[in-house]
Chain A
Amino acid sequence: MKRFRLTLRQRDNLYGYIFILPFVIGFILFVLAPVIQSIILSVTEVTVTSTGFTTTYIGFENYYFALRVHADFLRQLVEVMGIMLLNVFWIIVFSFFAALLLNQKFPGRLVFRIIFFLPVVMASGVILQLEIQDYMMAIIGEQVVENYAVIDPQVMAAFLMRLQVPEKFMEYIAMAVDGIASIVNSSGIQILIFLAGLQSISPSLYEASQVEGATGWENFWLITLPMVSPLILTNIIYTIIDFFISTSNSLIQLIRDTTTQGAGFGVSAAMSWIYFAAICVVLGIVYLIFNRLVFYHD
C-alpha cells in the first residue's frame, strides 16, 4: 500500500483547519447567520406567528424611527459615549497603577492580589440590578455619609466653589469620586493583563539601566511604560468593548426593552446596528490614535 504523504504546507493547512473547525462552524451558525438575519430584520417589520415568523420589507423606516422618532435612543447613545470615555480613562489609569503596586515584592502581596481580583469573580448582572433597585441600601449609605464621613461632600463642593475651581472640572472630579467603587470593580481583568505584561519585561533591561545610573523615575518612563504600551492599547480596547456590551449599560437595557415590550424586533435590530456602528467608529479612532504611540518590541 502506498502511503499518503503531505507536504509541510499541506499538513499545516489540514491540521490547522481541523483544529479551528469548531470555531468555523460556530461562527457561521451562531455569529454570521444571526448577523445577516439581523441586517434583514432591521429593514423589515417582524410578526411572530405560531409556526414561525414573517417579515415584510419596509426599507430604512426602522432606522428612521430609532433616530428621529424614538424619544430616548439618540440622547442615551450620546450619554453612553460620554460615560464610556470617562470610565475608560480612569479604569486604565487605575489598573495600571494597581498593577505597578501589585508587581512589587512586599509582605502580604498575595492577600492583596486575591482581593484585587475578587471583583472578576463576583461580577454578576443580577446582583447589580438588585442593587440599583435597592432603596434601603441607598438610604443607609446617605446616613453613613451624614453621620460618619470626615468631609461632607457638600461642604467640600461649596469650598471648592469658593476657590473658583471651574464648575466643569469640579463635576468631573465629583463624578470620578462617585465612581471609584465602580472603577475599582471593573478593573480586575485589566490589572491581570497589565500585571502579566509587567512580569514579561526582562529583568536584564533594568539591570543594564541600573548600571548606567538611571533612577527609578527614568526606568518607569523609558522602560516600563514603552514595554507595556501595546497592552495599554489592548486594555483600552478591551475596556471599551466590556463597557459597551455590559448589561448594566443603559442603552443595552433600552434595546432589550424595545425588543420585548416596545416597538418590536425590527426597530431593536436597527438600534443595535446603529449602536454597533458607533462602537466601530470609537474603536477605530482609538486604534488610530494610540497605535502611533505604542512601542513594539520586535
Chain B
Amino acid sequence: MAKATAYISYGRLIVNGKSVLNFRKIGSFVGMVLRYLILIGISYVILYPLIVKFSSSIMTRTDIWDPSVLIIPKYPSWNNYKLALRFMEYPIAFWNSFKLAFSVSLLQLISCTLVGYGFARYRFFGNGFWFALVIFSLVIPPELILIPLYLNFRFFDLYGLMPLLAKISIFSKLPAEGFNLLGSAWPFILPAIFASGFRNGLYIYIMRQIFKGAPRELEEAAYVDGAGPFRTFFRVVLPGSVYGLVVVFLFSFVWMWNDFNLTSFYWPKGKLLPIMLNDLSRNVLGDQYLHAPVEASLVNNAGSFLLILPLLLIYAFLQRYFVESIERTGLVG
C-alpha cells in the first residue's frame, strides 16, 4: 500500500497528489466576508441616524412611548411634516435659501476657478507668497475675523472710501456713515465674488491641483492657433475640467445651504431654511417648547429632513461626478 502523502505547496494542501484545500481561495473568501462585514457595519453607523430621524419624524406621541415600536411606527402620520412645512414657511424659505446658495456658490466657483488657474499655470512673481496667503485664509478661525467683518458690514463704507466719495457731488446721496448690509445677501455675495468666502481657500487649492494635473499640450495648441489666455481658458481648459467644477460647486452649495454659523450672524431674521429650522420648535409650540421635548423633537426631526432632502436629491443626481471625480482629476498632486 502506497504511503499517504500530504504536503503544502503554493498555498494548497495536497493529499495523495490531489489538491484538497486551497488556502489562498479560503483566505480571499474570508477577506471578502470580513470586508463586507466592516463596510456594512460602517454604512449602518452612517445610515442609522438618518433612518431613526425619518422614522421618528412620521411618528406620533403614542408611538414614542410604546416600547414595542422601535423603527416602524404603528400610527404613522405626516402631521409633523405639515407642521414643519407651515411654520418653516417652507416654500419661501426654500426659494430664499436656494437663491442664496446658488448665487454664492456660482460666484465662488467662477472666482476660485480663475484664481486656481492663475496659480497653476503662470509663474508670476510672488506666486508662492500669494498661495501661502490662500492657505493662511483657510487656517484662520472664522471667529477671528467675524467681529470686524460684522462691524464692516454693519457700517459698510468701502473701508473709508465712502465719506470721501460723498464729498463729490454725484455721490452726495451716499450716506456718510455707510450702508447697513446686514440682513441681506451682500455679506455672502461680496466675499464670494472675491474668492474669499467661507472655505474658499480649499476650493482654490482643489482647482489649482486639478489644473496642475491637466496636460498643457491642449493649451499650447490653442496658443499656437492664436487664442489669447482668456479664450484658451474658457474654450479649452474649462470644458476639460467639468468633474472638478462639479465637485467644487457641490461642496460650496452644500456648505452655503446648510450654513447656520454665518447666516445666523449676518442675517438672523432672514427667511432661510437653517434659521427657520432653528426656531421651528419654538414657533410651533410657543412658550412651551422647553417643557415638551417629545413634541419638539418630533417636529425638529421632520424639519431636519426637509432641510437635507433637497441635498440628498442633488447628491443622488451628481454622485457620479462626486465619486468618479477623484479618479479623473487626480485631486492630489
Using a CB–CB distance below 8 Å, which chain A residues touch chain B? 12-20, 22-27, 29-31, 33-35, 37-38, 41, 51-53, 98, 101, 104, 106, 110, 112-127, 129-130, 134-137, 140, 143-144, 147-148, 180-181, 184-185, 192-193, 195-197, 199-200, 231, 234, 241, 244-245, 247, 252, 255-256, 259, 265, 268-269, 272-273, 275-276, 279-280, 283
* Chain A residue contacts of B38, Cβ below 8 A: 101
B70 near A16 (CB under 8 angstroms)? no
* Nearest opposing residue in chain A for B319, CB measure: A114
Determine whether the beta carbon of B127 is less than 8 Å from that of A16. Answer: yes
* Cβ contact within 8 Å between A53 and B304: no
A101 touches B115 (CB 8 A): no
Q: Knowing A113-B323, A193-B332, A196-B331 touch, does A18 contact B118 (C-beta < 8 A)? A: yes
Give the most central of A20, A31, A273: most B CB within 10 Å.
A20
Query: Residue of B at shortest CB range from A240?
Result: B139
Excluding A30-B191, A184-B46, A196-B332, 6 further A-B contacts by CB distance (< 8 Å) are A25-B194, A34-B148, A101-B35, A121-B308, A127-B258, A135-B293
Q: Who on chain B is nearest to A228 by CB?
A: B332
Verify if B322 is at the interface (C-beta below 8 Å from A): yes
- Contacting residues, chain B, for A115 (C-beta < 8 A): 43, 46-47
**B104 on the interface (CB 8 Å rule)?**
no
Supposing A136-B293, A137-B52 touch, asked if A20 and B119 sit within 8 A by C-beta, the answer is yes
Q: Find the B residue at minimum CB distance from A238.
A: B202
Chain B residues positioned under 8 Å from A25 (CB to CB): 194
Please tell me if the beta carbons of A241 and B138 are within 8 angstroms of each other in the complex.
Answer: yes
A sample of 21 inter-chain contacts (CB < 8 A) reads A13-B122, A15-B118, A23-B134, A26-B194, A27-B194, A31-B140, A33-B152, A112-B43, A114-B323, A116-B43, A125-B274, A126-B275, A134-B297, A134-B300, A136-B298, A137-B56, A181-B49, A184-B46, A185-B46, A199-B327, A247-B260
Within the complex, the shortest CB–CB distance from A298 to chain B, in Å, comes to: 10
The yes or no answer to B171 lying at the interface (CB within 8 A) is: no
Cβ-defined contact, B254 with A127, below 8 A: no
Evaluate contact between B261 and A125: CB separation under 8 angstroms.
Answer: yes
Give the shortest distance, in Å, between A261 (CB) and chain B (any CB). Answer: 13
Cα–Cα, bound, A68→B298 (Å): 43
User: How many chain B residues touch A (Cβ–Cβ < 8 Å)?
Assistant: 93
Q: Is the CB of B148 within 8 A of A29?
A: no
- Do A22 and B193 have beta carbons less than 8 Å apart? yes
Contacts of B52 in A (CB 8 A): 137, 140
Which residue of chain A is the closest to B326 with respect to CB atoms?
A196
Are B35 and A51 in contact, CB atoms less than 8 angstroms apart?
no
Taking a contact as CB atoms under 8 Å apart, the answer to whether A283 and B139 are in contact is yes
A240 and B234 CA atoms in complex are apart in Å by: 36
CB contacts (< 8 Å) of B260 on chain A: these are 124-126, 129, 247
Known contacts A18-B118, A104-B35; is-contact A123 B323 (Cβ 8 Å): no
In the bound complex, how far is the Cα of B35 from the Cα of A231, in angstroms?
A: 24
With A19-B114, A245-B142 as contacts: A121 and B304 at CB distance below 8 Å: no
Residues of B within 8 A of A (CB): 32, 35, 38-39, 42-43, 45-47, 49-50, 52, 56, 64, 67, 70, 111, 114-115, 117-119, 121-125, 127, 130, 133-134, 136-149, 151-152, 155, 159, 177-178, 190-191, 193-197, 200, 204, 229, 250-251, 254, 258-261, 274-275, 277-278, 293-294, 296-298, 300, 304, 307-308, 311-312, 315, 319, 322-323, 326-327, 329-332
- Please give, as numbers and ranges, the residues of chain A lying within 8 Å of B329 by CB-CB distance: 196
Q: Given the known A-B contacts A53-B151, A136-B293, are A122 and B134 also in contact in the complex, defined by CB atoms under 8 Å?
A: no
* Cβ–Cβ < 8 Å partners of B278 in chain A: 126, 129-130
Q: Give the residues in chain B near A18, CB-CB below 8 Å.
A: 118
Contact assessment for B259 and A125 in the assembled complex, using a CB-CB cutoff below 8 Å: yes
Write out the residue numbers on chain B whose beta carbons fall within 8 Å of the beta carbon of A135: 293, 297
Q: Are A20 and B147 interface neighbours, CB within 8 A?
A: no
Residues of A within 8 A of B297 (CB): 134-137
Question: What residue of chain A has the Cβ atom nearest to residue B213's Cβ?
Answer: A200
Please indicate the chain A residues that have their CB under 8 angstroms from the CB of B191 in the complex.
26, 30
* CB-defined contacts of B46 to chain A, threshold 8 Å: 115-116, 118-119, 184-185
CB pair A38–B144 under 8 Å, yes or no, is: yes
Contacts of B311 in A (CB 8 A): 121-122
Q: Is the CB of B143 within 8 A of A272?
A: yes
Nearest chain B residue, comparing its CB with the CB of A191: B326
- Please give the distance in Å from B133's CB to the nearest CB on chain A: 6
Known: A22-B193, A23-B194, A30-B196. Is A13-B125 also a contact (CB below 8 A)? yes
Q: A19-B122, A22-B115 are in contact. Are A130 and B304 (CB under 8 A)?
A: yes
Docked-complex contact B312 and A121, CB < 8 angstroms: yes
Report chain A residues within 8 Å CB of B32: 106
Contact B258–A20 (Cβ < 8 Å):
no
Within the complex, which residue of B138, B190, B293 is in contact with A30, where a contact is CB–CB below 8 Å?
Answer: B190
Smallest Cβ distance from A17 to chain B, in angstroms? 6
- Interface contact A20-B115, CB-CB below 8 Å: yes
A276:B332 contact, CB within 8 angstroms: no
